Structure 1
């Protein structure tokens, strides 16, 4: 067992991809964070993160959640303007005042 320090992060991720990851974590009886750590650590070592049976489960979950993205889409995703507008904080009079130099 290795002791680690975990931090909370605000990562933005494609919605259907997140749905598949959450469902897979539930199927594997683990947390989303543990699942992601495992995927990344395997990738860093150049290893396959999932067995053939888990890959079959992932394929089914992708169908269920309508996820058609693949590794070929990596680094080429563009967020819809509507999603960007929802994620961008609105400047109000009070936030504008805080941003001014005195």
Structure 2
């Protein structure tokens, strides 16, 4: 079994390297909006990797804050680069709604989370 895994790794290494190189080249040639969407998405997923407490209420609030912040950042990218009036309206609504929900989530954590 170990030999089979090692063989699979060796055979896939050139493909992995080629894919990694393609991703890097692609990032350099992406449109500015695409780069900003990727950055916002990456930051959101990184920040959602919270330290779980085992309390679903606290964990939900703590992980939703970066999730909502990511939505706000993506909506701002849309407003910078997008031109469709309907999408601009939705982006503006998302910013207002998500900012309000972030405030609610932070207030919940402030009154509920145990001191560190």
TM-score in same-fold range (> 0.5): no
More helix by share: 2
Instruction: Tell which structure's C-alpha radius of gyration is larger.
Output: 2
**TM-score category, normalised to shorter length:** under 0.3
TM-score, structure 1 normalization: 0.25
